[in-house]
Each structure stands twice: as structure tokens, then as C-alpha cells.
Amino acid sequence: MAGKSGRTISNKPESPIKKIIFSWEGILILVLIGVNIFCKWFSEYYNMFNLLRQMPVYLAEVFLMMPMAFILVMGEIDISVGSIACLSATMACIVCNTGAPFIVVILTALAVGTLCGVINATILTNFTELPPMIVTLSTQIIFRGIAEIVLGSGGSISAANTAGFKALGTKVGKVPIILFLVAILAVIFAIILGKSTFGRRVYAIGTNRLTAHYSGIHVQKIRFIIYTVMGLMAGLCALFLVSTSYGANTTTGTGFEMDAIAMAVFGGISSTGGKGNLAGGIISAFIIVCLRVGLGQRNVHAQVILLILGVLLIAAVALPNLIGQLRRAVKKQ
Amino acid sequence: MSEEYILELKGITKIFPGVKALNNVQFQLKAGEVHALMGENGAGKSTFIKVITGVHKAEEGEMFLNGQKVDFKGPRDAQAAGIAAVYQHATSYPDLTVAENIFMGHEIIRHGMIQWGAMNKEANKLLQRMNADFDATAEMGTLSVAQQQMVEIAKCLSTNARIIIFDEPTASLTRSESEELYRIIDQLKAEGVSIIFISHRFEDMYRVASRVTVFRDSQYIGTYDVDGITNADLIKAMVGREITDLFPKPDVKIGEEVLRVEHLSRTGFFKDVSFAVHAGEILGFTGLVGAGRTEVVESVCAITRADSGNVYLEGKETHFQSPSDAMDAGIILLPEDRQKEGLIMSWGLGRNVTLPVIEKYAKNGLNNEKKERELSKELLEEVDTKAVDIFQPASSLSGGNQQKVVVAKALAQEMKVVIMDEPTKGVDVGAKAEIYAIMGDLAKQGYAIILISSEMPEILGMADRILVMCNGRKTGELSRDEATQETILELAMEKGATTKGGAA
């Protein structure tokens, strides 16, 4: 029954170089270079050594951005991750203060995070009609509420045995451990999202859930895995939060979910699902980290930094639209 | 200009970036006539309608209304001139009432307040004109497709339209609902409304229209009197070539039983349905829309769960837990709604084709994109898809070619049973013939095929055996020789739903 008309259909992909240059990631790399030039001009202290020294404080959020990218690509959202980090950090400190070996502390943080992720995942996959935004808003309140109850009247806890946490904050040569970890995980997450069958299915779910279901994709299984990993990564994030402050309090991780979403969206990952990739998310994460380090060095107020990031984000979301409109206008001429 | 025409268009050319959507076409509508407009998908019918209703502005050409030259700046001008359109997919607000939908945009207002009483009364008056069996205060979303269409028509009437354009109104109607629509159209005609009627169904045209105009490849082909025209003439005008055999049913020796379904039930959807299909056989599945045909096969494929009953594949009982289990076993469903269930419209054709089988070619969980490109090219060419490359989005293809991509997607899998749910819905006659040819080839290759269809000629033309459902029950099973329009219809309309005809 081969093609009766003898028509052939091309399957030659376009050159990858052209693809990169004209992509959003290409633009982001230029922005990253621009931001570094700006910071160098703006702050006399801005150099590689200081950047690496001050980076870890901001890098913990990148752990959240990576699984968040998967959730956004699915067309969903998880706003409970900041609270999960808070609860994980709190529990880790409590276990740490019992004198348990540090490996137990690490496992506690990861286990608490994973458990919270499983709770989200269980609710969302069993009651598929519930919107993720509302479910994770509820668990956001619940997880932080539990943390506040555990923390009691003081509202904070210090890790008595800081040796383990100090180890997490050390450097190999001049490069902090956390940067290594972010780099390794970024590569793993990017390969899974961009190159694996799992990733392809995530895009399918985010673009047309019904077709995905009819095509034999285990939609709920995939959602369960992703929300669980999201919790696990929030636990990891919590460990590094404690390692920078040697403690936890009721505001630990506040707003981190929004930062993670902002990084991903700035990286070109659409919150309506099915679009973007992790490379964009990682580059945009470093743009934000560099900007924060650079502006922070000249004591620019944290609120002003937030304001700048907000403007950048809106520009990032609006720009593709504007370019599209411009293109259409030019075509009409 | 000629006085007898209420609407006349001459030399209309509409250019979109890169394509001439209409090329010097003409059209004349007599006052009080029903004029069918036919042509394959992409022939330019929709663009033409949008020119008439003022949505698009033609680059060239003139339009005369009652002999007067008109120049619509936008849809509002056309509406004011008494031209209205009923679109294929109702563009309604499901959460609002019927009256609100009818008067959307031109509510009855006094002192800045909506006059609910007057509006409901007026709406009910319009509905009564069509013998509607629902009230103006009913919520739109609770109505059937046919009832929603009546609301759309009422909406046209509420603007005092003198020319109403129907864009494929019967595409999602059952037979009896179509009859109801014909009646309304006859009535509107008697009231002096002029009607332009677009449809792929020949029976629609024969039933309601007195003249028919055919477009092909953006050009005007001709206008004919419905009385003097045959199917073959029309197809030739529309396709530009003769289709000698629309239903190329191959002579296939029917083999072993492949799939057997026994006493399948799902509360609220269907009850006690049994059937079997053999290798090389095409089993027709028909009945009115809503009879439960789609629901039955979706349960067979584990897309939804049946409450009771058994499914046997090659004699062995199956226990599918998920759609992928059924697909792995070789039961492949081509869903009814190719845009929502069959394809990911924004994805390239290639990725659509390989979506169900990526795992098979993957190494260590990573996609083998090179292999995928080769496979999708091969399969898309096998079904003769009109496409430039495998990367163009599925949304860029016509309905018929989208369906071919759905077939290619099925071919990528190892099939034993192929279930095609309304494979030619909204597909033009040229592509229809190609899809039937593919279906015939699949039967020849020994696959067991289930063809779900509401189109009688298609069922009669392609099926070896015909299973009829009504209200969630199987009402009969007919052999190819026994089946006629009448026998099928009788079973499909049967109210008592007692099992008749061949036993399961």
C-alpha cells in the first residue's frame, strides 16, 4: 500500500547551530553575558572568586527549579515546595540536635521532603479533577503549619552540631560543593526532560493530556513520580539552607516556590505546559544568581532586586509575544 | 445587476500570505432559495463564507446585496445587512441561559438595564417558531448539540437575518436530528429566508437544496440544479477526477476469530454487549450518536473500565489495566476526535506517529530520534499523507490528512485489532476514498477491523457484518447481504432494545 502518489516526505532535521542561535536559550546566553558585564561595571567586588563565594546562598533554589520545570511542562504548578523545604530543614535540625550521625540528618531531610511530595502526589493523582494550584496551596499552609508547631514559641531552631552542615558548605578547590551538585543534577534532569522517553511523555501530557492517555501513556504514574521528586529535591534544598544558616525558622524557604517558578518561566518554560527546556531554566537561574550577587555586593536593597527581577520576568513573558506580533505585522506589509 | 438575486458575488479573490484562498470565484443566491455550497476541505468554502459575513476582506471582487453594491468593513456591517451564520461548532457560552446566548451582543436594554422578562419572552417566541422543546431560561450547557444549534438559528433570527449561512450543520447530528433541521430549514425557506448550506453529506444537499455550487482548489467550478445532478457528477466536480469505486471493499477470506467480547456492561453507558471479530473482517458498528458505540470500544481498550463482562483476544481472556496494556496486546483504537484524542496538534507529524512506540526504540530510556525519523517518514508515506516534512505541526494538515497521520500512528504499533471510530468524520470525499482504500488494505493484510460509523453508505459499503446499537444495547447484527438502510435504521431506532437478529 506504499504511497500511491509517489509523494515523499522529508525527514531531514534543520541544522542544530541555526536552532540554537535563533532560540530563546541563545538570547538568554547573551543576557547572561550582559548581566555579568553590568555587574562588573556596577560592583568593584564582582569577580570570579567572590561570585563563587557568595553564590551558594542563592543556588539552593536551583534545586527546586529543576523538578518545577517538569511540573510546569506538564501544565501544572506546585507552590508547596517552600514549605516542604521549611519542614525538612526543621526536622533535620531536630534530628541533628539529638546527636545522630550526619548521614541520618541528611536522610531525614530527604525523607521528610519525599514524604511531603508523596502526599501532594497522592492527592493529585487520586482526585484528578482538583487543580494543582489549590491542592498545593493547601499543603503549603499545612506543611508550614506543622513546621511552626514543631518549632514552638521561639519560632526557630539552631543546629547544635554544625560539623556536618559545614562540610556541605565546603569547596573543592575554589568551587563550592553545591555548584558541583547543581551541575550534575542539571545535566541529569536536562537529559531526562529533553532526551528520554519519560521527558517526551511529560511534554505529551502537558500539550494534550487526553491524546497522551489514548496513546497509552500512564499519565497519573508520571505525575506521581514528578511530584514525589519535587518533594525530594525540596528536602535537598533544605539541607543546603541549613548549611548556610546553621538553623531553621518559620520563614525558611518562604517564597522559594515563586523564585523557582520565576527562574523556569524566565528560562522559556511556559506555565501553560508543553513548552521550553531545562537548558533555558538553568541559564536563567544563573542570570538571576549573578544579578543577586552583583547587586547585593553594593548593598542594593533586597526589595529593589526583587523589583528588577519582576520587571525582567514580565519582559521575558511578553517578549516572545511581541516578537510574534512584530513578525506578523512585517509579513502583512 | 440582475434583480432576481438577493446576493451576488463576482470575481472574489482573497489572498493570505503565500496562498490564494479564493481565486476569482462567483456566487449567486436567489431570494428564498436553499443553495448548497460544496467542495473538498481547503477548497475555500470557509474563507468564502467569511468574506460574505465581513470577517475577511477580499482583495478583489464585488458583492451585491439586492442589486446594490456593498462593502462590509466588518462582521457588524454584514449583520446589519441581514446576513448571519450558524457555525459547525456552536460558539456558545455553556454556563449562560438560552436567552442570554441568543441576545449576546444585542441585549434588550432600557435605561442601561437588561430587560430579562422581555428578552426571555422574545427568545421563547423565536424558539416556538422552530417547535423547540426547551425553554429560553434553560442553561445552554444542558442542551443537546441539536438543541444548541436551534439556539444558534434563533440567534440569527433575532437579528432579523434575511440570509442565513449554515456551515456543516449536520456534522454532529443524528439522523433524526438532521431530519428536524431539514424541517426548520424548509420552514425558514417558506418564510422567505435565503439560505447557503455547506455540507459534505450528499443526502443533506439532495434533501434541502435546490441548487448547488462547487468550489475546488480555491476556484469556482460550476453551479448546478440539484434535480439534474448525480453523485458521480458532483464528485467529479469536487475532486477533479472520477472516483470509480468509493468503497474498494476487497474480497478477503475471513479467518480465525481474533477478538471476542462477552456481556460487557458499564452502568449508565451500555449493557450486555457481545460480539466477535475475525481476521480480515470489517465489523461495522452503527447506531445513532449516543447509542454507546464509542463507550463500548473504549472499555475494550481499557480507556474506561467496564463494570462486568469479558474480553477474549485470540481465545485467551484478557485483563487490561490501562490503555497501554490493550495496545501492547495489539488492540489499537483510532479515536473519534482526532484533534483532542488522536493527535497532539502542535507537535510535528513524526513525533505524533511515534508517541506510542518511543519505548520500543529507546536505548537506556533515551529516545532514538534518528530511528523515529526514519520510521515516521516511512509510515507517513505509506498512508500517502499530503505533507512536506515530518516536522510540520499536525494542525497544518486538512482533516483527511490528519486522519492519515492517526492511521500511521496505529501502524507504528503491532496491531491485531484495529478499531476506527468515525474515521471519515469531517473528511472530504477525495480523502475519504483514500481512507477506505487503507482500510481495505488492512483487512487484506489480515487485521481484524471494527469500523464505528454513523454514515450509512460507509457502513453498507465497507462492513462484512454490521452490529447495531440503540440506547446502550446491541439491538441486532446483520450480514452484508441482509443489511439495507431500512433494516439498520429500524434496529437503530428500536426503543424496546430487545436482542434481535444474529446471536452473539
Residue A199, min C-alpha distance to chain B (Å): 9
Yes or no: say if B126 and B102 are a contact pair by the CB < 8 Å rule. yes
Identify whether A43 is part of a domain: no
Asked if B382 and A13 come within 8 Å (Cβ–Cβ), the reply is: no
Side-chain-side CA neighbours of B51 within 13 Å: the count stands at 31
Domain co-membership, B267 together with B281:
yes
- Taking contacts as CB-CB distances below 8 angstroms, the residues of chain B near A191 are 366
Interface-testing mutation among A4, A10, A11, with chain B (most B C-beta atoms within 10 A)? A11
* Residue B41 falls inside a structural domain: yes
pLDDT of residue B89: 65
| Cα–Cα distance, A68 to B307 (Å, whole number) | 38
Structural domain of B369: 345-413
CA-to-CA separations, A148 to A89, A294, B1, B140, B155, in angstroms, rounded: 12, 33, 84, 48, 58
Q: Report B:167-206 residues touching A (Cβ under 8 A).
A: none
Indicate whether B308 and B248 sit together in one domain: yes
pLDDT tens per residue, range B288-327: 777 889 999 999 999 999 999 999 999 999 999 999 999 9
List the single residue in A4, A216, A332 with the smallest CB-CB distance to B356: A216
- A213 to chain B, any CB pair closer than 8 A? The answer is yes
Q: What pLDDT is recorded for position A1?
A: 42
Is A314 contained in some domain?
Answer: no
Check whether residue B395 and residue B436 sit in a common domain: no
Is B324 within 8 Å of A332 when comparing Cβ atoms? no
Cell output for B464: 462484512
SS3 for A197?
A: helix
Q: Which of A1, A5, A14 is the best residue to mutate to test the B interface, defined by the most B CB atoms within 10 Å of its own CB?
A: A1
Residues B290 and B401 both lie in one domain: no
CA distance B439 to chain A (A): 11
Q: Would strands B60-65 and B308-313 be described as parallel, antiparallel, or unpaired?
A: unpaired
Range of the domain at A197: 53-305
A127 inside 8 A of chain B by CB: no
Q: B324 and A216 in contact (C-beta within 8 Å)?
A: yes
Task: Print the SS3 string covering B131-185.
Answer: CCCCCCCCEHHHCCHHHHHHHHHHHHHHCCCCEEEEECCCCCCCHHHHHHHHHHH
| Cβ–Cβ contact B68 with A under 8 A | no
Examine the domain organization and report whether B228 and B256 are in the same domain: no
Is A217 touching B (CB cutoff 8 A)?
yes
Chain A residue numbers touching B333 (CB-CB < 8 A) = 214
Taking the CA of residue B297 and the nearest CA in chain A, the distance in Å comes to 12
Here the cell at position B147 is 438543541
Of B375, B392, B413, the residue at which a domain comes to its end is: B413
User: Based on the domain organization, do B206 and B98 belong to the same domain?
Assistant: yes
Within a domain: A3:
no
State the residue for C-alpha cell 490528512: B401
- Residues B199-253 pLDDT 10s: 878 888 888 999 999 998 888 999 999 988 888 888 888 877 766 677 878 888 8
Residues from chain A contacting residue B335 (CB–CB below 8 Å) = 214
Residues of B in contact with A331 (CB under 8 A): 17
B418 and B388 part of one domain: no
Residues B354, B494 share a domain:
no
The answer, for B299 touching chain A at a CB cutoff of 8 Å, is no
B366 and B435 belong to one structural domain: no
Residue A329's closest chain B neighbor by CA?
Answer: B17
pLDDT in tens, chain A (333 residues): 444 566 788 888 877 777 777 778 888 899 899 999 999 998 888 888 888 888 888 899 999 999 999 999 999 999 999 999 999 999 999 999 998 899 999 999 999 999 999 999 999 999 999 999 999 999 999 999 999 999 988 889 998 878 888 888 888 888 899 999 999 999 999 999 999 999 999 999 999 999 999 999 999 999 999 999 999 999 999 999 999 888 999 999 998 999 999 999 989 898 888 988 999 999 999 999 998 899 888 888 888 888 888 888 888 778 777 877 787 777 665
| CATH code of residue B82 | 3.40.50.300
Global confidence as pTM: 0.80
- Based on the fold, state whether residues B437 and B403 are members of the same structural domain: no
Distance CA B98, CA B121 (A): 12
- Nearest beta carbon to residue B365 from set A3, A13, A196: A196
The domain that holds A73 is classified in CATH as 1.10.3470
Q: Are residues B219 and B112 both part of a single domain?
A: yes
pLDDT at B112: 86
Same domain, B406 and B419: no
Per CB-CB distance under 8 Å, the chain A contacts of B299 are none
Number of domains, chain B: 3
- DSSP per residue, A30-84: HHHHHHHHHHHHH-TT-SHHHHHHHTHHHHHHHHHHHHHHHHHHTT-----HHHH
Is A170 part of any domain?
yes
**Interchain contact B113–A (C-beta under 8 A):** no
**CB A67 within 8 Å of CB A230:** yes
Structural domains in chain A (count): 1
Residue of A nearest to B371 (CA): A11
